Amino acid sequence: MPRVSLFAYDWSDLILPPHAFAHTLMPSFPRHRLALAATLLGLVAAPTLSPALDLSGLSKDVQPCDDFYAFVNGNWEAATELPASRARIGSFEQLRQANDELLNRALKELADKPELQTTPGLKLIASYYASGMDELAIEARGLTSVAPLLNRIDTLQRREDLPALLALLARGGVAAPLGYAVQPDRKDTRRNLLVLGQAGLGLPDRDDYFRSDERTRGLSAAYRTFVKALLSASARPAGDADVDAVLAFETQLAEVSRERAKLRDPNASYNPFTPAELNAAAPGMDWPAYLAVLTAGAKLPQRLLVGQPEFAVRVAKLAAETPLEVWRSYLALRVLDTTAPRLPKAYANAAFEYRGKAITGLQAPAPRSEDVIQQIGGRTGGEPVALALGELFVARAFSPEAQRRSLALVEDVRASMKERIEKLEWMTPPTKARAQEKLARMQPMIGAPEKWPQFEGLQLSGTDYAGNWLKVALWHSAQQMKDLDALVERGRWRTSPHIVNAFAGGLNQIIFPAGILQPPFFDAKADDAVNYGGIGMFIGHEITHHFDDSGRNFDAGGSLTDWWTPADAAGYKARADKVAERYGAISPLPGYNINGRLTLGENISDISGLPIAFEGLQRALKRSGGADKKVEGYTPAQRFFLSNALVWRTKVRMEFLINQLRTDSHSPAKYRVLTPMSNTPYFGQAFSCKPGSAMVASDPLTVW
């Protein structure tokens, strides 16, 4: 199934439907290996974080049954100012910043003490980090490092050379206008195959090319300024007519780009073609020539997937009809936009003004070291050398005890889900049996891989930031082509352990990186109620993702298979539609509602994951005999919900929130507390809420 995350980060750029990555059960990380790594690298103290359950800010003016989010977080929100360099702060962001600061100190130590660079990954990130921090070298190099791409664009004079150029750019990490991935075949997850998908737009969302409201007009104006800045800084035609031509080109792509909510349908994006069939279906571009360059180093694929065939048809039409000077401007823009954070200040500052300030409301950039770490690892830990950061992080901030206790939580929550499936009144026994099989075979990945990648053939410079990015992109493409048509390696990690997030990955797996197994989400010293309300709820959330409106289409092996009876599928759809309708009626800002269809998978996982985790807590309390034991004046049931509300503590800028409501598959944090809690009877029972209270839904939502 597509990989989905618990939490979204800033500047989210969806260019392809989320990919199904291969993950499997993580073998236990030996204690002696952790100790050895820490000895080799030199210990860096873990960041000082808030206690797992901070009750100091509970409101005396708001009652739990009226607005539990305000009861727990209202005082904090009122007293907290957003720093100029933050579009959002809260539990996730604070832990992410602490993890980044730990990495920053460790990377500085690696640079100062080369003898600590004992593995290929550590050597690579030492050089990569140093190159990102060397701003004088970045200024001195100018565009030299990306000249191989720009020069190929500038010399485009023949239309028949365009397919090879587009493929070369794709291999170089520039999705213009097509993105690609090599991933498990959704209908036969034993093998990998090539997937092409829509990409190449500069505005945050395809609808931004057609909306006419004030917010969109402001974004469009900021984007025009950004386009002009990049083109003029690189001495390319940047007059109004030139910018108009590029925007008109992107508008033609946007016309056939699928809406984000529609990208969630895994069946609609499963469109197999042979190269010859694609050539016939999308005339105007030499697709075999494109594929030959894209897959250089591997056999030309005899079968590939095209996520959005109508987009490929439009690309081919533009390839045949659009003037080459427009193509040159568009492609140069996409290269400069993609690489801007790694280029001289003229480009990096322009990127911040548009992507940071205009889109998310930032007033100042994040600290340089933090940005470099995010550029190397990616916001969800999926960049090609991100695991090298994870190798450094795990040696300093993760314990086998955290892994052991997390696995115990997984099994308690899994057992609760098993019981829930069995008790479903609307599902027939044949479908229940398939659901139980899927749940039983679900593979948790906790913490980190046992073995780290060796990055064979990749060498980086300590003084060439943009050049390193291009080297990494080309190396990663070559690695992907080695995977093409090969058997899927189910044990491979593709998410760095330093990330503060959790994922429901392809191949029926759930992934919890070491980065999130820390307070306030998980604390080995805390009582069970705190941990089940934090990481336990996230476990329930990720398990449910494999049974949400998209994930339910995949079987126990992770393959796209219809295992539902027609009656059960109809019953599920009716319940899911109700969830979409309920969330779609919520207006976090005047004139801006939650997109109930885009957020449906996350919302189903929230409203189901919370009670499943609560039931998992009851299993733990039954073993320990502490069901009635109060801590700090609160029962375990109450502490469970307090813990959950605290982890969603968030304050955001208005621009960020608007962008989230338009483009993100996650509901705003406040409603990840209010709606799931008000729709489970466990909350009302814990706080003695009466029917009619705001936190007691009159018509509770239930799916699982």
Can you give the length of the chain in residues? Answer: 704
Specify the pairing of strand 650-652 against strand 178-185: unpaired
CA distances from 423 to 64, 436, 618 (A): 30, 12, 17
Give dist(CA 458, CA 265) in Å, integer: 37
Question: What are the extents of the domains in the chain?
Answer: 144-377, 398-442+518-686
User: Which residues are 89's β-sheet partners?
Assistant: 651
Percent of the chain with pLDDT over 70: 93
Angle at alpha carbon of residue 107, lines to 86 and 25, rounded to 5°: 85
With CA atoms as reference, report the closest residue to 535 among 558, 562, 515, 561: 515
Q: What is the pLDDT of residue 9?
A: 47
pLDDT at 599 over 90: yes
Which amino acid type is present at position 630? K
In what helix (H) or strand (E) does residue 195 lie, and over which residues does it extend?
strand 188-198
Residue 52 has a pLDDT of: 59
| pLDDT confidence bin for 359, thresholds 50/70/90 | very high
Q: What separation, in Å, do the N-terminal and C-terminal C-alpha atoms of the chain show? A: 19
3-class DSSP state of 483: helix
Whole-angstrom Cα distance, residue 238 to residue 324?
16
Determine contact, residues 394/403, Cβ cutoff 8 Å: no
Instruction: Pick the closest to residue 328 from 554, 141, 560, 150 (CA basis).
Output: 150
Q: Which CATH superfamily groups domain 144-377?
A: Neutral endopeptidase , domain2 (1.10.1380.10)
Task: Give me 21's structure tokens.
Answer: 């990555």
For the cut 80, the answer to whether the pLDDT of residue 8 exceeds it is no
How do residues 360-370 score in pLDDT, each as one tens digit? 999 999 999 99
**pLDDT attached to residue 14:** 24
Q: Looking at residues 570-595, what average pLDDT do you find?
A: 98
Distance from C-alpha of 405 to C-alpha of 525, rounded to nearest angstrom: 11
Q: Is 83 helix (H, G, I), strand (E, B) or coil?
A: coil
Q: How far apart are CA 103 and CA 84, in angstroms?
A: 23
Where do we find the tokens 């309920």? 582
Around Cβ 215, how many Cβ atoms within 10 Å? 16
Outline where DSSP puts E strands in 555-697. 650-652
Q: For 67-126, write each residue's pLDDT tens digit.
A: 999 999 999 999 999 999 999 999 999 999 999 999 999 999 999 999 999 999 999 999
Burial 498-530 (b: 16+ CB within 10 A, else e): bbbbbbbbbbbbbbbbbbbbbbbbbbeebbbbb
Secondary structure of 515-560 in the HEC alphabet? HHCCCCCCCCCCCHHHHHHHHHHHHHHHHHHCCCCCHHHECCCCCE
pLDDT at 40: 30
Instruction: Confirm if 335 and 146 have CB atoms less than 8 A apart.
Output: yes
* Cβ-proximal residues to 454 (8 Å cutoff; 6+ apart), any chain: 120, 121
Angle formed by the axes of helices 309-321 and 240-255, to 10°? Answer: 150
Give the separation between CA 333 and CA 642, rounded to whole angstroms.
48
What SS3 class is residue 183?
strand
Judged by DSSP in three states, 340 sits in: helix
Peptide bond into 323 cis (omega under 30): no
| Nearest-10 Cα torsion for 100, 101, 107, 110 | -140
- The DSSP letter of residue 447 is E
> Whole-number mean pLDDT of the chain?
92
The model's pLDDT over 605-643, given as tens digits with 9 standing for 90+, comes to 999 999 999 999 999 999 998 888 899 899 999 999 999
- Check pLDDT > 70 for residue 25: no
CA distance 635 to 622: 14
Beta bridge partners of 447: 513
Q: Which residue has 């109700």 as its token pair?
A: 578
Beta strand 178-185 with 188-198: parallel, antiparallel or unpaired? antiparallel
Topology, domain 398-442+518-686: Collagenase (Catalytic Domain) (3.40.390)
Chain segment 632-681, per-residue pLDDT in tens: 899 999 999 999 999 999 999 999 999 999 999 999 999 999 999 999 99
Residue 531, amino acid: N
How much is the pLDDT for 7?
61
pLDDT, position 22: 30
Rounded Cα distance between 158 and 128, Å, is: 37
How many Cβ atoms are within 10 Å of 96's Cβ, its own excluded? 22
Query: And the tokens for 6?
Result: 């618990």
Q: Which helix (H) or strand (E) holds 185?
A: strand 178-185
Place 399 in a pLDDT band, splitting at 50, 70 and 90.
Answer: confident
User: SS3 helix, strand, coil % of the chain, rounded to 5?
Assistant: 55, 5, 40
Looking at residue 1, its amino acid is M
Residue 21 has pLDDT above 60, yes or no: no
Query: Which residue is listed with tokens 């999705």?
Result: 175
Q: What residues contact 624, with CB distance under 8 A and at least 6 apart?
A: 528
Q: 652: part of which helix (H) or strand (E)?
A: strand 650-652
- Whole-structure pTM value: 0.92
Cα separation, 662 vs 665, in Å, equals: 9
Query: Which amino acid is located at 309 in the chain?
Result: P
Euclidean distance between CA atoms 92 and 170, whole angstroms:
32
Closest to 638 measured CA to CA, from 677, 603, 590, 691:
677
Structure tokens at 282: 């999308």
Write out the H or E segment, with its range, that includes residue 213.
none
Cβ burial of 122 (10 Å; 0-12, 13-18, 19+) is buried
Rounded to 10 deg, the angle between the 68-79 and 669-678 helix axes is 160
Pairing assessment for the beta strands 509-513 and 443-447 based on DSSP bridges: parallel
Summarize pLDDT for 32-69 with one digit per residue, the tens: 222 323 323 333 333 343 445 889 899 999 999 999 99
184, 203 contact by CB (below 8 A):
no
Cis peptide bond N-terminal to 177, omega within 30: yes
Q: What is the mean pLDDT of residues 460-468?
A: 98
When pLDDT is cut at 50, 70 and 90, the band that residue 573 belongs to is: very high
Q: Measuring CA to CA, how many Å separate 587 from each of 67, 481, 583, 670?
A: 16, 45, 9, 12
Q: Extract long-range pairs of 145-152: CB within 8 Å, 24+ residues apart.
A: 145/464, 145/465, 145/466, 145/467, 145/470, 146/335, 146/336, 146/339, 146/343, 146/466, 146/467, 146/470, 148/172, 148/470, 149/174, 149/335, 149/470, 150/234, 150/332, 150/335
